[in-house]
């Protein structure tokens, strides 16, 4: 695995394969996991991936992520709807990304060494960064949750683009600029995180590569301008669509979202350092944008960036890693999405933080070696890798059963609506309505405006004999969503069971009024005895 001539101490292929192998081993027990959560929409019920030849539907189903949809269609063509094949593709993409992280970390350390800047040995930086990336449990959601594939594909193209743009900045050949920009485009068509690539490339140029200010200005125009313009155009298009289509339904303002994302960045960093309370759902309290927690988180981020920048001459890899981590989080956190924080969003960003940790750890290891403690230092590193790998395999097991996954989330984020609702759904599907009822009650308490929770609460209440509670739940559906035929139909069914055909006729008629094609209501109405 050679770099361009003159770059010494290139990383080794054997070490790269070892890092990749560690990642593969960690995820073997996830290959049998089922589809969960959004996989029902993105895979099981996705009509656009049934026919690979229907390219209009294939590319139009997810306008901003067509590359991901194509990958789903290819998996379905090969594997049908067997989750194993989709998980295998995710694992292969992760293995490829481990190799790309290895290359990029090794190149960064070698570039610094070539100009006499402080940095760990390239092979050490490459192996430990890639190995931590391979086995860290914080990446489980991105790797084995099929609906998180945008993160994997986006990272693949982003890392490839960064490597090409780094090469473009070190050679006069324009072909590398074209390659770097071209690789970024499918990344943008996979995941918004790829919009961070041009900024990361500029950071790499500014922090790692040699040159005078005039050299850097020339490289900015020759190498970085084109990808910056492409990413800017893609970002502007996404914002325009959001403003036209999604803004009215936004769950929070931009300012509040920005404060919450500052908090989320610290949560991500904390989980990277101590992955002790991972969950598919995380709890954030609603507050005005000027709340103390958000302002404190924002101020702390500003201080972190300032400290990292001041340390760029003494610890350039740490500065690069911290910048990488924060910049890569920006695209996914810019728009006020329903979930403030999702662990899969940290996938690309995590490589930067791990690079910074490896740089700091390498300095500590050098101190220990000077004190004749090299053996214990290496043993500690191996134990850390083993512990993270064990935690990853344990986290894979949590994802192996949807009920276990959502019960875990409900315990860790008890104030969030979603986990309780999903636990209720899983219990109801397993004919455990009595247990599901308790979860639906919590769900409607946390999300009283969610009609679907009231529907399912009513169904389980009726099945367990709590008819008054069932009627109240169905009436609440008709209040929240008068145009939802489920509430009217279920009320009709309930009063019909009580022998009130007149009321049942009224409710079935209401269901047909709001949804003339509602077949269940029509059949039920036709089956009622005629009024005298």
pLDDT of the residue at 117: 93
Both 318 and 450 in one domain: the answer is no
Q: Quick one: 292 and 357 in the same domain?
A: yes
- Considering the domain boundaries, does residue 9 fall inside one? no
Looking at the structure, tell me whether residues 376 and 423 fall in a common domain. Answer: no
Domain residue limits at 70: 46-81
Q: Domain tally for the chain?
A: 3
Q: Report pLDDT for 179.
A: 97
Q: Please tell me the distance from the alpha carbon of residue 421 to that of residue 413, in angstroms, as a whole number.
A: 12
Looking at residue 366, its pLDDT comes to 79
Low-confidence ranges of the chain (pLDDT < 50): 1-9
Please state at what angle helix 122-135 crosses helix 13-27, rounded to 10 degrees.
10
Domain stops at, among 373, 398, 423: 398
Query: Which SS3 state, helix, strand or coil, does residue 48 take?
Result: helix
Q: Check residue 243 and give its pLDDT.
A: 87
- Average pLDDT over all residues of the chain: 93
Distance CA 205, CA 199 (A): 10
Q: Burial code of 57-96, b = ≥16 C-beta within 10 A, e = fewer? A: bbeebbebbbbbbbbbbebbeeeeeebebbbbbbbebbbb
In angstroms, the CA 234 to CA 60 distance is 16
Q: Is 10 domain-assigned? A: no
Listed residues 362, 378, 398: the one ending a domain: 398
Question: Does residue 56 share a domain with residue 108?
Answer: no
- % of the chain at pLDDT higher than 90: 82
For residue 377, is it within any domain?
Answer: yes
Residues 374 and 491 in one domain: no
Domain boundary among 379, 398, 417: 398
pLDDT at site 489: 95
pTM of the model: 0.93
If you write DSSP's letter for every residue of 262-278 in order, what string do you get?
HHHHHHHHHHHH---S-
Same domain membership, residue 334 and residue 293: yes
**Are residue 67 and residue 31 in the same domain, yes or no?**
no
Tens digits of per-residue pLDDT, 254-312? 999 999 999 999 999 999 999 999 999 999 887 888 889 999 999 999 999 999 999 99
Do residue 331 and residue 461 come from a single domain?
no
Distance of CA 364 to the CA centre of its chain: 32
Residue 4 lies in a domain: no
Residue 374, pLDDT score: 67
Pair 160, 275 in one domain? yes
Same domain, 313 and 372: yes
């Amino acid at each position: 695995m050679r770099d361009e001539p003159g770059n010494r101490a290139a990383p080794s292929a054997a070490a790269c394969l070892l890092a990749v192998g560690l990642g593969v081993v960690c995820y073997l027990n996830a290959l049998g996991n089922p589809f969960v959560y959004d996989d029902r929409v993105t895979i099981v019920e996705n009509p656009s991936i049934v026919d690979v030849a229907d390219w209009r539907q294939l590319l139009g189903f997810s306008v901003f992520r067509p590359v991901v949809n194509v990958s789903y269609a290819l998996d379905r063509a090969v594997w049908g709807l067997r989750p194993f094949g989709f998980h295998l593709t995710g694992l292969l993409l992760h293995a490829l990304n481990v190799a790309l992280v290895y290359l990029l970390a090794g190149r960064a350390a070698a570039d610094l060494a070539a100009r006499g800047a402080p940095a760990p040995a390239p092979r050490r930086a490459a192996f430990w960064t890639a190995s931590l990336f391979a086995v860290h449990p914080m990446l489980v959601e991105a790797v084995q949750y099929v609906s998180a594939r945008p993160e994997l594909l986006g990272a693949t193209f982003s890392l490839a683009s960064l490597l090409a743009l780094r090469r473009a900045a070190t050679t006069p050949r324009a072909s590398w600029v074209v390659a770097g920009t071209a690789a970024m485009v499918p990344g943008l068509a996979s995941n918004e995180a790829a919009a961070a690539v041009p900024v990361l490339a500029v950071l790499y140029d500014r922090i790692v590569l040699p040159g005078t200010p005039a050299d850097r200005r020339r490289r900015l125009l020759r190498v970085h301008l084109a990808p910056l313009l492409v990413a800017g155009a893609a970002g502007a298009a996404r914002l325009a669509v959001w403003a036209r289509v999604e803004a009215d339904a936004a769950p929070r303002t931009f300012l509040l979202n920005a404060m919450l994302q500052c908090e989320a960045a610290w949560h991500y960093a904390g989980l990277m350092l101590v992955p002790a309370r991972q969950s598919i759902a995380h709890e954030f309290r609603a507050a005005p944008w000027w709340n103390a927690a958000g302002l404190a988180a924002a101020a702390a981020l500003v201080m972190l960036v300032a400290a990292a920048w001041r340390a760029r001459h003494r610890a350039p890899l740490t500065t690069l890693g911290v910048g990488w981590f924060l910049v890569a989080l920006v695209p996914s956190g810019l728009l006020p999405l329903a979930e403030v924080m999702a662990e899969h969003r940290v996938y690309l960003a995590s490589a930067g933080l791990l690079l910074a940790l490896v740089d700091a750890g390498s300095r500590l290891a050098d101190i220990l070696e000077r004190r004749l403690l090299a053996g214990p230092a290496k043993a500690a590193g191996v134990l850390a890798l083993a512990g993270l790998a064990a935690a990853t395999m344990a986290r894979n097991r949590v994802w192996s059963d949807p009920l276990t996954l959502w019960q875990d989330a409900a315990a860790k984020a008890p104030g969030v609506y979603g986990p309780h609702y999903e636990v209720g759904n899983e219990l109801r599907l397993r004919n455990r309505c009595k247990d599901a009822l308790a979860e639906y009650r919590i769900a409607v308490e946390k999300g009283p405006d969610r009609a679907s929770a009231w529907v399912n609460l009513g169904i389980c209440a009726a099945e367990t004999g709590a008819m008054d509670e069932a009627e109240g739940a169905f009436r609440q559906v008709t209040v929240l969503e008068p145009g939802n035929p489920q509430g009217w139909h279920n009320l009709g069914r309930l009063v019909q069971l009580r022998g009130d055909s007149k009321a049942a006729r009224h409710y079935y008629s209401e269901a047909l009024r709001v949804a003339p094609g509602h077949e269940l209501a029509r059949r039920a109405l036709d089956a009622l005895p005629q009024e005298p």
